[in-house]
Chain A
Amino acid sequence: MTNYDIRKDFKIIENNKIAYLDSGATTQKPTQVIDAIRHYYESDNANPHRGAYKLSIKATEVYDEAREKVQKFINAKKPENVVFTRNATESLNLIAYSYGLNNIKEGDKIVLSIMEHHSNLVPWQNVCKKTGATLEYMYVNSEGTLDEEEINKKIVPGVKIVGITQVSNVLGTINPVKEIVKKAHEVGAIAVVDASQSAPHIKVDVQDLDADFLAFSGHKMLSPLGIGVLYGKENLLEKMPPFLFGGDMIEYVYEQDTTYAPVPTKFEAGTQNVEGAVGLGAAIDYLNNVKMENVEKIEKELMKYAMDELSKLDFVTIYGPRDLSKHAGVISFNVNKVHPHDVASILDSENVCIRSGNHCAQPLLRYMGLDSTCRASFYIYNTKEDVDRLIDALYKTKKTFEKWM
């Protein structure tokens, strides 16, 4: 299956005649996912876990099936390791509030990479402020990667939590997560992996990584908005108190006290987002049909082509690792002397959609001495022609600004 075959399933691209290069922000959805949601509402919808009638049981079943699909997709031991949330941000907040605030004490250290998205950074700042723990960062080298020396220098005894993104949403850097998790465990820390930019693009195996927690959003991998995943090791999830309280997360409720439902229901208060779970399940089916090896292959070819073509432009500066084995999904660049927002507007006038700004990673950009960058990000429906349209639009940007550069 080629990206040209895949593209036919994404009507929005054809309908808008766009070169959609912002999948790092959110992906488009294939007909199969949209159909699955429609089918759910036309055939299976009711409130799950609550009704004694057939339809409610059906809704419960499809919700549980989706959980099993996620379990297999990330190779978790049991479906109970998978908690459905709204998105990666909520997953990471759940860990910070429920695990962080209850296990971190004054004098403890939390270590993050400087590449973290605000969603795996601000919650930990809050934990540090509330507990008196200190926050430290692993900084990138000039290539935008983490040196082993830096990792070993920062992950030392006293560190209790290590937060690491598997792929940087700004630089596209693939981090050595397995080694970082191992190092974290050696010093007695737990590792929180942000897989938002990796799970859609490369095979993620939570057991191989030995991650304690791992979070990602469905909408960055062909699913509808509003469904996310938190993976957690069983012994950790069991001991953690609930994050949100209310309906369905309970066992017995008395006037003054409550016992809670087992994991993962304990963490899924309120009526569950079955539509989202069904959509995520359909997205996983779609990706399994394409095969993750093939996803990686399509993207690698696109990234190589984009890197080669962008490198030819002497008015463009590229950020992040040039070594494609360390680079996935996204590519950041700037048009010299033109602000990224102006670039994005001119590209938009050519129906080329890219992201411009600080990509919710202000500490990284500040560390690199940048205010903002342009970012193109790819997915399985992109083609070389999309990259060509990007390059042509960049020439147009240069032409518009040339007189004033």
Chain B
Amino acid sequence: MDNINDIYTDVIMEHSTATYNKHKIENPTTSEHGHNPSCGDDITIEVIMDHNKIKDLAFTGHGCAISQASTSIMIDLLKGKTKQEAIELIQLFLKMIKREKLTDEELEKLEEATALKNISNMPARVKCAELAWYTMEKLLTKNDESKE
């Protein structure tokens, strides 16, 4: 990555230090723990589901600026969405990070999360950006299994 300023942008830095999505939720419907053993990023995501909708979503934990920002941005994006919409957005995000081509329309759906697009040029940090999204995907699909 030649220009580090393309990574540490205002959007990412604001989210990495913002605390409004970083707290515990009282009586969550479910929660999921995510961890990158090699670097120590460690987050727990809690959710309140109202029928099929993500009514409330927040996280606790610690990690680098990229992982913290990515988690906060994801929470902003997924709050209020249905489970299916959330899973679709997670898959779009992971596609973007894996440098697969997204249409303009698809990118638009990701809103602020497109600020993390340049991480795809930085293989050492891809895992940091992905952690929250994989954890959330696990959380949402785990719910499926427990109902079956």
Chain A residues near B (Cβ < 8 Å): 338-342, 344-346, 348-349, 356-358, 365, 371-372, 400-401, 403-404
Collect the chain A residues with CB atoms within 8 Å of residue B65's CB: 338-339, 342, 401
Question: What are 8 inter-chain pairs, A to B, with CB distance below 8 A?
Answer: A339-B63, A341-B125, A345-B1, A345-B4, A357-B40, A400-B4, A400-B5, A404-B16
CB distance from A346 to the nearest CB of B (A): 5
Q: Is the CB of A339 within 8 A of B4?
A: no
Q: Is the CB of B16 within 8 A of A356?
A: no
Collect the chain B residues with CB atoms within 8 Å of residue A338's CB: 65
Answer whether A349 and B66 are a contact pair too, CB < 8 Å, given A341-B39, A341-B128, A404-B13: no
Q: Is the CB of A341 within 8 A of B64?
A: yes
Q: Is the CB of A346 within 8 A of B4?
A: yes
Collect the chain A residues with CB atoms within 8 Å of residue B122's CB: 345
Contact of A357 among B7, B13, B14, B39 (CB under 8 A): B39
Collect the chain B residues with CB atoms within 8 Å of residue A404's CB: 13-14, 16-17
Chain B stretch 1-18: residues in CB contact (< 8 A) with chain A: 1-5, 7-8, 13-14, 16-17
Chain B residues near A (Cβ < 8 Å): 1-5, 7-8, 13-14, 16-17, 38-42, 62-66, 122, 124-125, 128
Interface of A is mostly: helix
Collect the chain B residues with CB atoms within 8 Å of residue A358's CB: 38-40
Residue among B16, B41, B65 with most chain A CB within 10 A:
B65
CA distance A403 to B14 in the complex (A): 10
Q: Which residue of B lies closest to A338 (CB)?
A: B65
Answer whether A356 and B39 are a contact pair too, CB < 8 Å, given A345-B4, A345-B122: yes
CB distance from A187 to the nearest CB of B (A): 35
CA distance A375 to B41 in the complex (A): 17
CB distance from A97 to the nearest CB of B (A): 24
CB distance from A369 to the nearest CB of B (A): 12
Q: Is the CB of A372 within 8 A of B7?
A: no
CB distance from A184 to the nearest CB of B (A): 32
CB distance from B127 to the nearest CB of A (A): 10
Collect the chain B residues with CB atoms within 8 Å of residue A346's CB: 4, 8
CB distance from B41 to the nearest CB of A (A): 8
CA distance A400 to B5 in the complex (A): 8
Q: Is the CB of A349 within 8 A of B64?
A: no
Collect the chain A residues with CB atoms within 8 Å of residue B1's CB: 345, 348-349
CA distance A339 to B42 in the complex (A): 13
Residue among A342, A346, A400 with most chain B CB within 10 A:
A342
CB distance from A401 to the nearest CB of B (A): 8
Collect the chain B residues with CB atoms within 8 Å of residue A344's CB: 124
Q: Is the CB of B13 within 8 A of A339?
A: no
Answer whether A357 and B4 are a contact pair too, CB < 8 Å, given A339-B64, A345-B124, A404-B13: no
CA distance A371 to B39 in the complex (A): 8
Contact of B66 among A341, A400, A403 (CB under 8 A): A341
Q: Given A345-B4, A346-B4, list of 17 further CB < 8 A pairs?
A: A338-B65, A339-B63, A341-B39, A341-B125, A342-B66, A344-B124, A345-B122, A345-B124, A348-B1, A349-B3, A349-B4, A358-B39, A371-B62, A401-B8, A401-B13, A404-B14, A404-B16
Residue among A344, A358, A371 with most chain B CB within 10 A:
A371
Contact of A342 among B38, B62, B64 (CB under 8 A): B64
CB distance from B10 to the nearest CB of A (A): 9
Collect the chain B residues with CB atoms within 8 Å of residue A401's CB: 8, 13, 65
Answer whether A372 and B125 are a contact pair too, CB < 8 Å, given A349-B4, A400-B4, A404-B16: no
CA distance A348 to B63 in the complex (A): 19
The 5 closest A-B pairs by CB, nearest first: A339-B64, A349-B4, A341-B64, A371-B40, A372-B40
Collect the chain B residues with CB atoms within 8 Å of residue A372's CB: 39-40
CB distance from A122 to the nearest CB of B (A): 13
CA distance A349 to B42 in the complex (A): 25
CB distance from A84 to the nearest CB of B (A): 29
CB distance from A366 to the nearest CB of B (A): 10
CA distance A346 to B125 in the complex (A): 12
Q: Which residue of B lies closest to A337 (CB)?
A: B17
CA distance A204 to B4 in the complex (A): 42
CA distance A365 to B63 in the complex (A): 15
CB distance from A371 to the nearest CB of B (A): 4
CB distance from B88 to the nearest CB of A (A): 29
Residue among B1, B16, B40, B63 with most chain A CB within 10 A:
B40
Contact of A403 among B2, B5, B13 (CB under 8 A): B13
Q: Is the CB of B62 within 8 A of A357?
A: no
